[in-house]
A and B are shown apart, each in its own frame.
Chain A
């Protein structure tokens, strides 16, 4: 096992303090290389996996000793390359606090990333995300307004998944894919009675799972999924591939045997978010500073109960 290298990628549900990859016992299961990034979309995630696997093989690693786990992100996200060579605003775009709108997966042997001063991937994150860098936000707003369509984004996500699948298959690399939350269905949730948000309000995606609708405040420590909210959420809802039939032929080529999903009476094709809320029944949130993500304790449970059995079976 010690010769095994586990290459992992995803978005902020994968890369962050105390996220699930950091709870893998590396002495037992293999060396973990987490190449995910905050706000990453599926194009970036695919690139980061392919780059890292290729890099490791170039460094002499046998593909048989490489395992890959990918937690795919939202289909809407997209990345744009900004370079000092071609973008007159590049210097402005790489300036500012946190710099979490930028990412580079290419690194040297000391894990120093390709310098952002030369080039960086600008991450859209969610639609109309307001980054601290206003110039970047204005640029991305143009994308959302003039270029984005859900259907094209779905096709791009399927193409990213398939590109990665075929690359890994050809090398005989063992892998498992999953998602941060359901990204394949069109679903919503109606807020039940008794909570701060008005009864019957329809909410979508991550807004459902972060449970802020319980209290309408920045953060609370008791954001549990209510026991009496038992109705169907994504279960038996339309799949996006059926809403957008131009994507169906791509969906059909995905090797679903290589995927893990959390499913119960309420949800299908679920990911980490559904597992934390509905299976682990953990309170949502990573503290006052980070209410939108699962806590390290939930990540630890997810690692122990989901990831470790997967690694054992690969």
Chain B
């Protein structure tokens, strides 16, 4: 059997370095591990985790497309690639760090690269991008930011489909409801009472309808990783990080391990069964 390749990306809810779900996929593959049995499925598995704190759809789309293309260029069969994406806040926007932007922004002063050669993000030749949400928000209305994020999602979808790469999309929380990602949500937060972005901004509707929703996983009404963990894993959020999204900022290791076991592993098994 060919070596299999799983590519993941997303924001801090999908950052393997922060004990998020991508980190635990291999646990279900490891023969010695008691938990589950992906070891029965694959002879060999590589996982490429591009998820990173505070990143938005600009970054996620670029890492997925470049990550897949890197494997294809290396000769990997597209049937052996599976993509998992935890899409992030729709208002997040990046700025390319290069010699021009270094002159424009004090925030970039500590970059020591001379940027005359290709610069890598997590070994991908896509350049170095920095989250620039607040500054871009002075230029881009929410409506355009949603449009740009929908276009990033669609570009990724169309890339994967045109290359016949299997994938599953989901979101960090319910990103298709209209809210700002800095909003503080209370315990009585009700997914079913939120308003979808295409109802607020009709100009997004045509993009919304082009998304292949069959490729998405949601918890309840367009809920994401955070919504699932809050409802399903007791103590799944890091209580020391108060006042953030869903009352707490981020799910903890326990929450992510259960999310991986009960949600993610199912997707991988489905992909594996399709390949059989």
Contacts and interface: CB of A to CB of B under 8 A. Distances in A.
B141 A149 contact: no
B139 A51 contact: no
Contacts of A143: 139
Interface stretch (B9-17, B82-90, B143-151): B143-151
Given A147-B95, A163-B151, A166-B158, A119 B104 contact: no
Interface string B113-132: 00001110000011100000
**How would you classify the secondary structure of chain B's contact residues: helix, strand, loop or mixed?**
helix
Interface of A: 47, 50-51, 54-55, 80-83, 85-87, 106, 114, 119, 142-143, 146-147, 149-152, 155, 159, 162-163, 166-167, 169-170, 244-249, 252-253
A245 B203 contact: no
B127 A155 contact: yes
B161 interface: yes
A253 B154 contact: no
B206 interface: yes
Given A119-B203, A149-B101, A170-B161, A155 B143 contact: no
A151 B96 contact: yes
A149 B140 contact: no
Interface residues of B, number: 34
A249 B125 contact: yes
B142 A146 contact: no
Given A81-B143, A86-B143, 15 more contacts: A54-B210, A80-B139, A81-B141, A86-B141, A106-B203, A114-B203, A152-B101, A155-B127, A163-B151, A166-B158, A169-B162, A246-B125, A246-B126, A246-B127, A248-B118
Given A81-B147, A87-B141, A51 B206 contact: yes
A147 to B, nearest CB: 7
Interface in B221-243: none
B155 interface: yes
A84 B95 CA distance: 26
A31 to B, nearest CB: 21
A201 B139 CA distance: 37
Contacts of B267: none
Nearest to B205: A106
A245 B155 contact: no
B125 A248 contact: yes
A119 B143 contact: yes
B32 interface: no
A298 B140 CA distance: 39
Contacts of B252: none
B140 to A, nearest CB: 7
B155 A162 contact: yes
A249 B73 CA distance: 10
